Structure 1
Protein backbone atom coordinates (compact mmCIF):
# COMPACT_ATOMS: atom_id res chain seq x y z
CA UNK A 1 0.00 0.00 0.00
CA UNK A 2 1.21 3.49 -0.77
CA UNK A 3 3.31 4.98 2.03
CA UNK A 4 5.54 7.19 -0.11
CA UNK A 5 4.77 9.57 -2.99
CA UNK A 6 6.34 12.37 -5.02
CA UNK A 7 5.58 16.00 -5.85
CA UNK A 8 8.00 18.12 -7.85
CA UNK A 9 5.58 20.68 -9.31
CA UNK A 10 5.68 24.41 -8.50
CA UNK A 11 2.74 26.21 -6.94
CA UNK A 12 2.08 28.43 -9.97
CA UNK A 13 1.61 25.41 -12.24
CA UNK A 14 -0.73 23.83 -9.71
CA UNK A 15 -2.95 26.90 -9.45
CA UNK A 16 -3.08 27.40 -13.23
CA UNK A 17 -4.40 23.89 -13.86
CA UNK A 18 -7.17 24.37 -11.30
CA UNK A 19 -8.07 27.69 -12.91
CA UNK A 20 -8.21 26.05 -16.34
CA UNK A 21 -10.62 23.50 -14.87
CA UNK A 22 -12.82 26.31 -13.47
CA UNK A 23 -12.09 25.26 -9.88
CA UNK A 24 -11.64 28.35 -7.70
CA UNK A 25 -8.66 27.99 -5.40
CA UNK A 26 -8.50 29.86 -2.11
CA UNK A 27 -5.44 30.12 0.10
CA UNK A 28 -6.84 30.95 3.55
CA UNK A 29 -3.46 30.51 5.21
CA UNK A 30 -1.47 32.34 2.55
CA UNK A 31 0.49 30.85 -0.33
CA UNK A 32 1.68 27.45 0.94
CA UNK A 33 5.29 26.40 0.69
CA UNK A 34 5.47 23.54 -1.82
CA UNK A 35 9.11 22.47 -2.20
CA UNK A 36 9.94 19.83 -4.81
CA UNK A 37 10.23 16.47 -3.06
CA UNK A 38 11.08 13.08 -4.49
CA UNK A 39 9.79 11.32 -1.38
CA UNK A 40 6.87 12.49 0.75
CA UNK A 41 6.54 10.09 3.64
CA UNK A 42 4.00 9.34 6.34
CA UNK A 43 3.68 12.23 8.88
CA UNK A 44 5.25 14.72 6.43
CA UNK A 45 3.48 18.01 5.72
CA UNK A 46 2.24 18.27 2.13
CA UNK A 47 -0.29 20.28 0.08
CA UNK A 48 -3.91 19.30 -0.41
CA UNK A 49 -6.94 21.01 -1.93
CA UNK A 50 -9.85 20.46 0.42
CA UNK A 51 -13.55 21.01 -0.14
CA UNK A 52 -15.14 24.19 1.21
CA UNK A 53 -18.34 23.56 3.14
CA UNK A 54 -21.33 25.15 1.46
CA UNK A 55 -19.40 26.08 -1.70
CA UNK A 56 -19.35 24.17 -4.97
CA UNK A 57 -16.65 24.57 -7.58
CA UNK A 58 -13.99 25.77 -5.17
CA UNK A 59 -11.35 24.44 -2.82
CA UNK A 60 -8.77 25.54 -0.28
CA UNK A 61 -5.08 24.93 -0.94
CA UNK A 62 -3.38 24.23 2.40
CA UNK A 63 -0.49 22.24 3.84
CA UNK A 64 -1.43 19.40 6.16
CA UNK A 65 0.08 16.35 7.84
CA UNK A 66 -0.11 13.02 6.03
CA UNK A 67 -1.78 10.55 8.45
CA UNK A 68 -3.48 10.87 11.79
CA UNK A 69 -2.92 8.52 14.73
CA UNK A 70 -5.22 5.52 15.12
CA UNK A 71 -6.55 4.54 18.57
CA UNK A 72 -3.51 2.26 18.81
CA UNK A 73 -1.19 5.12 17.93
CA UNK A 74 -0.16 3.93 14.48
CA UNK A 75 -0.49 6.41 11.58
CA UNK A 76 -3.58 6.07 9.42
CA UNK A 77 -2.12 6.90 6.03
CA UNK A 78 -4.52 4.83 3.86
CA UNK A 79 -8.28 4.46 4.36
CA UNK A 80 -10.64 1.97 2.71
CA UNK A 81 -13.25 3.57 0.47
CA UNK A 82 -15.61 0.63 0.02
CA UNK A 83 -19.04 1.14 1.55
CA UNK A 84 -18.34 4.73 2.60
CA UNK A 85 -19.90 7.87 1.18
CA UNK A 86 -17.61 10.67 2.49
CA UNK A 87 -20.22 13.42 2.62
CA UNK A 88 -17.74 15.92 4.07
CA UNK A 89 -14.02 16.61 4.48
CA UNK A 90 -12.98 15.44 1.05
CA UNK A 91 -9.65 16.52 -0.38
CA UNK A 92 -7.38 16.22 -3.39
CA UNK A 93 -3.80 15.18 -2.64
CA UNK A 94 -1.34 16.67 -5.12
CA UNK A 95 1.25 14.29 -6.60
CA UNK A 96 3.23 13.56 -9.71
CA UNK A 97 3.99 9.97 -8.75
CA UNK A 98 3.43 7.37 -6.05
CA UNK A 99 5.42 4.34 -4.97
CA UNK A 100 4.71 0.70 -4.22
CA UNK A 101 7.12 -1.86 -2.77
CA UNK A 102 7.49 -5.56 -3.57
CA UNK A 103 9.70 -8.37 -2.36
CA UNK A 104 13.19 -8.08 -3.87
CA UNK A 105 13.77 -9.82 -7.19
CA UNK A 106 17.23 -10.81 -5.99
CA UNK A 107 17.04 -13.14 -2.96
CA UNK A 108 20.16 -11.67 -1.36
CA UNK A 109 18.94 -8.09 -1.69
CA UNK A 110 17.86 -6.76 1.71
CA UNK A 111 15.82 -3.79 0.50
CA UNK A 112 12.43 -4.15 -1.13
CA UNK A 113 12.06 -3.26 -4.78
CA UNK A 114 10.54 0.19 -5.19
CA UNK A 115 8.20 1.05 -8.09
CA UNK A 116 7.19 4.52 -9.25
CA UNK A 117 3.75 5.02 -10.80
CA UNK A 118 3.06 8.15 -12.84
CA UNK A 119 0.17 9.19 -15.09
CA UNK A 120 0.21 8.88 -18.86
CA UNK A 121 -1.89 11.92 -19.76
CA UNK A 122 -0.49 14.56 -17.41
CA UNK A 123 2.72 15.47 -15.61
CA UNK A 124 0.92 15.62 -12.27
CA UNK A 125 -2.40 14.50 -10.85
CA UNK A 126 -4.55 14.33 -7.72
CA UNK A 127 -5.24 11.40 -5.40
CA UNK A 128 -8.62 11.07 -3.68
CA UNK A 129 -8.36 11.70 0.05
CA UNK A 130 -10.13 12.87 3.16
CA UNK A 131 -8.97 15.09 6.01
CA UNK A 132 -9.96 15.44 9.65
CA UNK A 133 -9.02 16.95 12.96
CA UNK A 134 -6.60 14.91 15.03
CA UNK A 135 -5.14 15.30 18.53
CA UNK A 136 -2.03 16.87 17.02
CA UNK A 137 -3.31 18.85 14.01
CA UNK A 138 -5.49 18.56 10.93
CA UNK A 139 -4.32 15.68 8.78
CA UNK A 140 -5.20 13.82 5.60
CA UNK A 141 -5.17 10.24 4.39
CA UNK A 142 -5.36 8.55 0.98
CA UNK A 143 -8.42 6.53 0.02
CA UNK A 144 -7.92 3.01 -1.30
CA UNK A 145 -9.77 0.35 -3.28
CA UNK A 146 -9.04 -3.08 -4.73
CA UNK A 147 -6.18 -2.78 -7.22
CA UNK A 148 -6.98 -2.11 -10.85
CA UNK A 149 -5.11 -3.60 -13.81
CA UNK A 150 -2.09 -1.27 -13.63
CA UNK A 151 -1.37 -1.77 -9.92
CA UNK A 152 -2.54 -5.37 -9.36
CA UNK A 153 0.79 -6.95 -10.40
CA UNK A 154 2.44 -5.03 -7.51
CA UNK A 155 -0.20 -4.90 -4.75
CA UNK A 156 -3.73 -6.15 -4.14
CA UNK A 157 -4.90 -2.68 -3.02
CA UNK A 158 -4.28 0.75 -4.50
CA UNK A 159 -4.78 4.43 -3.81
CA UNK A 160 -7.16 6.26 -6.17
CA UNK A 161 -5.60 8.70 -8.67
CA UNK A 162 -8.28 10.83 -10.29
CA UNK A 163 -8.61 12.03 -13.88
CA UNK A 164 -8.83 15.81 -14.15
CA UNK A 165 -12.52 15.81 -15.02
CA UNK A 166 -13.13 14.09 -11.64
CA UNK A 167 -11.45 16.72 -9.45
CA UNK A 168 -14.39 19.13 -9.20
CA UNK A 169 -16.73 16.21 -8.50
CA UNK A 170 -14.60 14.94 -5.64
CA UNK A 171 -14.49 18.28 -3.83
CA UNK A 172 -18.29 18.49 -4.20
CA UNK A 173 -19.74 16.30 -1.41
CA UNK A 174 -23.10 16.31 -3.20
CA UNK A 175 -21.61 14.00 -5.83
CA UNK A 176 -21.80 10.35 -4.75
CA UNK A 177 -18.42 8.85 -3.93
CA UNK A 178 -19.16 5.80 -6.11
CA UNK A 179 -19.48 8.09 -9.13
CA UNK A 180 -15.88 9.27 -8.66
CA UNK A 181 -13.86 6.51 -6.98
CA UNK A 182 -13.10 4.23 -9.91
CA UNK A 183 -10.09 2.74 -11.65
CA UNK A 184 -8.51 4.70 -14.44
CA UNK A 185 -8.42 2.93 -17.82
CA UNK A 186 -5.72 0.29 -18.16
CA UNK A 187 -2.42 1.83 -19.21
CA UNK A 188 -3.07 5.14 -17.42
CA UNK A 189 -0.44 4.50 -14.71
CA UNK A 190 2.92 3.57 -16.24
CA UNK A 191 5.46 2.15 -13.81
CA UNK A 192 9.25 2.25 -13.57
CA UNK A 193 11.50 0.49 -11.09
CA UNK A 194 13.43 2.30 -8.37
CA UNK A 195 15.51 0.72 -5.61
CA UNK A 196 14.64 2.40 -2.33
CA UNK A 197 13.65 2.24 1.30
CA UNK A 198 11.63 -0.46 3.06
CA UNK A 199 7.93 0.17 3.77
CA UNK A 200 6.84 2.12 6.85
CA UNK A 201 4.79 0.57 9.64
CA UNK A 202 1.34 2.10 9.88
CA UNK A 203 -2.32 1.26 10.04
CA UNK A 204 -4.86 1.11 7.21
CA UNK A 205 -8.56 1.50 8.03
Structure 2
Protein backbone atom coordinates (compact mmCIF):
# COMPACT_ATOMS: atom_id res chain seq x y z
CA UNK A 1 0.00 0.00 0.00
CA UNK A 2 0.95 3.65 -0.06
CA UNK A 3 -0.58 5.87 2.60
CA UNK A 4 1.66 8.93 2.44
CA UNK A 5 3.64 10.47 -0.41
CA UNK A 6 5.62 13.51 -1.56
CA UNK A 7 4.96 15.97 -4.39
CA UNK A 8 7.34 18.94 -4.14
CA UNK A 9 6.74 20.47 -7.58
CA UNK A 10 4.35 23.27 -8.44
CA UNK A 11 1.48 22.49 -10.79
CA UNK A 12 3.13 24.81 -13.29
CA UNK A 13 6.23 22.62 -13.29
CA UNK A 14 4.06 19.50 -13.61
CA UNK A 15 2.20 21.02 -16.55
CA UNK A 16 5.49 21.62 -18.36
CA UNK A 17 6.75 18.10 -17.63
CA UNK A 18 3.59 16.37 -18.82
CA UNK A 19 2.52 18.79 -21.56
CA UNK A 20 -0.75 19.60 -19.82
CA UNK A 21 -2.91 22.59 -18.96
CA UNK A 22 -3.78 23.46 -15.37
CA UNK A 23 -7.46 23.35 -14.48
CA UNK A 24 -8.59 25.71 -11.71
CA UNK A 25 -8.42 25.42 -8.74
CA UNK A 26 -5.34 23.20 -9.21
CA UNK A 27 -3.30 26.38 -9.71
CA UNK A 28 -3.79 27.10 -5.98
CA UNK A 29 -2.24 23.79 -4.89
CA UNK A 30 0.96 24.00 -2.82
CA UNK A 31 3.84 21.47 -2.95
CA UNK A 32 3.84 19.02 -0.05
CA UNK A 33 6.22 16.54 1.56
CA UNK A 34 3.54 14.88 3.70
CA UNK A 35 0.38 14.04 1.73
CA UNK A 36 -2.14 11.73 3.48
CA UNK A 37 -5.23 10.03 2.03
CA UNK A 38 -8.34 12.19 1.52
CA UNK A 39 -6.14 15.20 0.70
CA UNK A 40 -6.62 17.17 -2.49
CA UNK A 41 -3.87 16.07 -4.86
CA UNK A 42 -2.83 17.04 -8.41
CA UNK A 43 -3.52 14.31 -10.96
CA UNK A 44 -3.01 14.15 -14.71
CA UNK A 45 -5.94 13.02 -16.85
CA UNK A 46 -7.37 13.31 -20.34
CA UNK A 47 -11.04 13.99 -21.01
CA UNK A 48 -13.43 16.40 -22.66
CA UNK A 49 -13.83 19.49 -20.47
CA UNK A 50 -15.97 21.91 -22.39
CA UNK A 51 -13.73 21.43 -25.41
CA UNK A 52 -14.32 19.84 -28.80
CA UNK A 53 -11.57 17.28 -28.25
CA UNK A 54 -9.74 15.50 -25.48
CA UNK A 55 -7.56 17.71 -23.34
CA UNK A 56 -4.66 16.67 -21.12
CA UNK A 57 -4.87 18.59 -17.89
CA UNK A 58 -3.85 18.71 -14.26
CA UNK A 59 -6.78 18.77 -11.85
CA UNK A 60 -7.25 18.44 -8.12
CA UNK A 61 -8.78 15.21 -6.86
CA UNK A 62 -9.61 13.77 -3.48
CA UNK A 63 -7.08 11.02 -2.78
CA UNK A 64 -9.66 8.29 -2.08
CA UNK A 65 -11.77 7.16 -5.00
CA UNK A 66 -15.55 7.36 -4.73
CA UNK A 67 -17.42 5.42 -7.44
CA UNK A 68 -20.38 7.18 -9.09
CA UNK A 69 -22.92 4.82 -7.53
CA UNK A 70 -21.84 5.55 -3.95
CA UNK A 71 -24.45 7.35 -1.84
CA UNK A 72 -21.77 9.23 0.11
CA UNK A 73 -18.47 10.87 -0.77
CA UNK A 74 -16.67 9.13 2.09
CA UNK A 75 -16.56 5.33 2.12
CA UNK A 76 -16.13 3.12 5.17
CA UNK A 77 -13.67 1.11 3.07
CA UNK A 78 -10.18 2.37 2.19
CA UNK A 79 -10.07 3.37 -1.49
CA UNK A 80 -6.87 5.42 -1.70
CA UNK A 81 -5.07 2.32 -3.07
CA UNK A 82 -6.26 -0.30 -5.56
CA UNK A 83 -4.54 -3.61 -6.27
CA UNK A 84 -3.50 -3.71 -9.93
CA UNK A 85 -3.94 -7.51 -9.99
CA UNK A 86 -7.69 -7.24 -9.43
CA UNK A 87 -8.82 -3.63 -10.03
CA UNK A 88 -10.63 -4.54 -13.26
CA UNK A 89 -12.91 -6.89 -11.29
CA UNK A 90 -13.71 -4.66 -8.30
CA UNK A 91 -17.04 -2.77 -8.44
CA UNK A 92 -15.44 0.42 -7.10
CA UNK A 93 -12.67 0.50 -9.73
CA UNK A 94 -13.64 -1.42 -12.87
CA UNK A 95 -15.39 1.50 -14.63
CA UNK A 96 -12.32 3.67 -14.02
CA UNK A 97 -10.01 0.97 -15.37
CA UNK A 98 -11.99 1.06 -18.60
CA UNK A 99 -11.69 4.76 -19.42
CA UNK A 100 -10.72 6.92 -16.43
CA UNK A 101 -7.04 6.34 -15.84
CA UNK A 102 -4.73 8.95 -14.36
CA UNK A 103 -1.12 9.67 -13.52
CA UNK A 104 -0.25 10.77 -9.99
CA UNK A 105 3.09 12.62 -10.04
CA UNK A 106 5.34 12.05 -7.03
CA UNK A 107 8.98 12.32 -6.05
CA UNK A 108 8.62 9.45 -3.56
CA UNK A 109 6.51 7.97 -0.82
CA UNK A 110 6.72 6.67 2.74
CA UNK A 111 6.29 3.26 4.33
CA UNK A 112 6.76 2.23 7.93
CA UNK A 113 8.89 -0.54 9.48
CA UNK A 114 8.12 -2.05 12.86
CA UNK A 115 5.06 -2.23 15.08
CA UNK A 116 3.27 0.12 17.46
CA UNK A 117 5.36 2.85 19.02
CA UNK A 118 8.51 1.49 17.38
CA UNK A 119 7.25 2.07 13.80
CA UNK A 120 9.81 4.01 11.77
CA UNK A 121 9.08 5.79 8.47
CA UNK A 122 11.23 5.18 5.40
CA UNK A 123 11.32 7.42 2.35
CA UNK A 124 11.23 5.43 -0.91
CA UNK A 125 12.29 7.10 -4.16
CA UNK A 126 14.42 6.88 -7.28
CA UNK A 127 18.08 7.84 -6.90
CA UNK A 128 17.68 10.37 -9.70
CA UNK A 129 14.29 11.40 -11.04
CA UNK A 130 10.61 11.49 -10.19
CA UNK A 131 7.77 8.99 -10.43
CA UNK A 132 4.66 8.97 -12.63
CA UNK A 133 2.40 6.65 -10.64
CA UNK A 134 -0.47 4.78 -12.24
CA UNK A 135 -3.83 5.87 -10.88
CA UNK A 136 -7.55 5.80 -11.54
CA UNK A 137 -10.13 8.54 -11.16
CA UNK A 138 -13.88 8.89 -10.83
CA UNK A 139 -16.41 11.70 -10.71
CA UNK A 140 -18.92 11.59 -7.85
CA UNK A 141 -22.05 13.74 -7.92
CA UNK A 142 -23.53 14.92 -4.65
CA UNK A 143 -27.22 13.92 -4.80
CA UNK A 144 -28.12 16.57 -2.21
CA UNK A 145 -26.74 19.46 -4.27
CA UNK A 146 -28.75 21.45 -6.80
CA UNK A 147 -28.37 20.15 -10.35
CA UNK A 148 -27.19 23.59 -11.49
CA UNK A 149 -24.48 23.76 -8.83
CA UNK A 150 -21.07 22.97 -10.38
CA UNK A 151 -19.75 22.19 -6.89
CA UNK A 152 -21.90 19.06 -6.80
CA UNK A 153 -19.20 17.25 -8.79
CA UNK A 154 -16.23 15.81 -6.89
CA UNK A 155 -13.15 14.42 -8.63
CA UNK A 156 -11.65 11.48 -6.71
CA UNK A 157 -8.66 9.23 -7.34
CA UNK A 158 -6.81 6.12 -6.23
CA UNK A 159 -3.23 4.92 -6.59
CA UNK A 160 -2.60 1.45 -8.07
CA UNK A 161 -0.26 -0.88 -6.18
CA UNK A 162 1.53 -4.14 -6.94
CA UNK A 163 3.78 -6.62 -5.17
CA UNK A 164 6.97 -4.93 -4.01
CA UNK A 165 10.23 -5.73 -5.75
CA UNK A 166 13.11 -7.19 -3.75
CA UNK A 167 14.86 -3.83 -3.27
CA UNK A 168 12.13 -2.54 -0.95
CA UNK A 169 10.35 -5.73 0.12
CA UNK A 170 12.09 -5.47 3.50
CA UNK A 171 10.12 -2.24 4.07
CA UNK A 172 6.70 -3.24 2.71
CA UNK A 173 5.20 -6.00 0.57
CA UNK A 174 3.26 -3.58 -1.69
CA UNK A 175 4.32 -0.56 -3.73
CA UNK A 176 2.80 2.01 -6.09
CA UNK A 177 3.10 1.25 -9.82
CA UNK A 178 5.51 3.59 -11.67
CA UNK A 179 4.62 4.17 -15.33
CA UNK A 180 7.43 4.25 -17.90
CA UNK A 181 7.40 7.27 -20.19
CA UNK A 182 6.45 5.27 -23.29
CA UNK A 183 3.16 4.21 -21.67
CA UNK A 184 1.96 7.63 -20.52
CA UNK A 185 -0.04 8.38 -23.66
CA UNK A 186 -1.75 4.99 -23.87
CA UNK A 187 -2.52 4.96 -20.15
CA UNK A 188 -4.18 8.38 -20.22
CA UNK A 189 -6.05 7.88 -23.52
CA UNK A 190 -9.74 7.39 -22.60
CA UNK A 191 -10.45 5.86 -26.01
CA UNK A 192 -8.24 2.88 -25.08
CA UNK A 193 -10.59 0.41 -23.39
CA UNK A 194 -8.79 -0.65 -20.24
CA UNK A 195 -8.99 -4.22 -19.00
CA UNK A 196 -6.95 -6.64 -16.90
CA UNK A 197 -4.64 -7.28 -19.83
CA UNK A 198 -3.67 -3.60 -19.86
CA UNK A 199 -3.16 -3.61 -16.09
CA UNK A 200 -0.97 -6.71 -16.29
CA UNK A 201 1.10 -5.17 -19.08
CA UNK A 202 1.58 -1.96 -17.10
CA UNK A 203 2.58 -3.93 -13.99
CA UNK A 204 5.23 -5.81 -15.98
CA UNK A 205 6.51 -2.63 -17.65
CA UNK A 206 6.87 -0.93 -14.26
CA UNK A 207 9.36 -3.48 -12.92
CA UNK A 208 12.58 -1.97 -14.35
CA UNK A 209 11.72 1.35 -12.68
CA UNK A 210 10.62 -0.29 -9.44
CA UNK A 211 13.91 -2.19 -9.21
CA UNK A 212 15.75 1.14 -9.10
CA UNK A 213 13.91 2.32 -5.98
CA UNK A 214 15.98 3.01 -2.89
CA UNK A 215 14.96 3.92 0.65
CA UNK A 216 16.28 5.42 3.84
CA UNK A 217 14.87 5.94 7.31
CA UNK A 218 13.55 9.41 8.14
CA UNK A 219 12.37 11.14 11.30
CA UNK A 220 8.71 10.82 12.39
CA UNK A 221 6.48 12.72 9.98
CA UNK A 222 5.48 15.95 11.66
CA UNK A 223 4.58 19.12 9.81
CA UNK A 224 5.24 19.59 6.12
CA UNK A 225 8.60 20.70 4.79
CA UNK A 226 11.58 19.36 2.76
CA UNK A 227 13.40 18.21 5.90
CA UNK A 228 10.95 15.29 6.19
CA UNK A 229 12.71 13.34 3.43
CA UNK A 230 16.22 13.85 4.81
CA UNK A 231 17.99 10.65 5.98
CA UNK A 232 17.89 10.09 9.72
CA UNK A 233 21.39 10.70 11.04
Fold shared per TM-score above 0.5 = yes
Which blocks of at least 5 consecutive residues in structure 1 are unaligned? 20-24, 199-205
Q: 1:78 aligns with which of 58, 81, 92?
A: 81
- Determine helix, strand or coil for the equivalent of 2:24: coil
> Quick one: distance in 1 between partners of 2:200 and 2:189?
13
> Quick one: distance in 1 between partners of 2:59 and 2:39?
13
**Counterpart in 2 of 1:63?**
60
Q: 1:115 aligns with which of 102, 119, 122?
A: 122
The answer on whether the counterparts of 1:115 and 1:193 sit within 8 Å (CA) in structure 2 is yes
Which blocks of at least 5 consecutive residues in structure 2 are unaligned? 89-96, 143-153, 223-233
* Residue 187 (structure 1) shift: 4.2
Counterparts of residues 10-21 of structure 1 (less than 5 Å): 10-19=10-19
Counterparts of residues 114-193 of structure 1 (less than 5 Å): 114-122=121-129, 124-134=130-140, 137-173=154-190, 174=192, 176-182=198-204, 183-185=206-208, 187-193=211-217
Alignment of 1:8 onto 2:5:
no
Query: Would you tell me which structure has more helix in proportion to its own residues?
Result: 2
> Quick one: distance in 2 between partners of 1:28 and 1:69?
20
> Quick one: distance in 2 between partners of 1:145 and 1:168?
21
* Alpha-carbon spacing, 1:31–1:67, altered in 2? closer, same or farther (3 Å): closer
> Quick one: distance in 2 between partners of 1:145 and 1:79?
9
> Quick one: distance in 1 between partners of 2:99 and 2:15?
23
* Residue 27 (structure 1) shift: 3.2
Q: 2:100 aligns with which of 89, 92, 109?
A: 89
Alignment of 1:32 onto 2:39:
no
The answer on whether the counterparts of 2:84 and 2:161 sit within 8 Å (CA) in structure 1 is yes
* Residue 60 (structure 1) shift: 2.0
- Determine helix, strand or coil for the equivalent of 1:75: coil
> Quick one: distance in 2 between partners of 1:197 and 1:74?
24
Moved more, 176-185 or 32-41: 176-185
Alignment of 1:98 onto 2:109:
yes
Alignment TM-score, normalising by the size of structure 2:
0.69
- Determine helix, strand or coil for the equivalent of 1:93: strand
Moved more, 29-38 or 146-155: 29-38
Aligned alpha-carbon RMSD (Å):
2.8
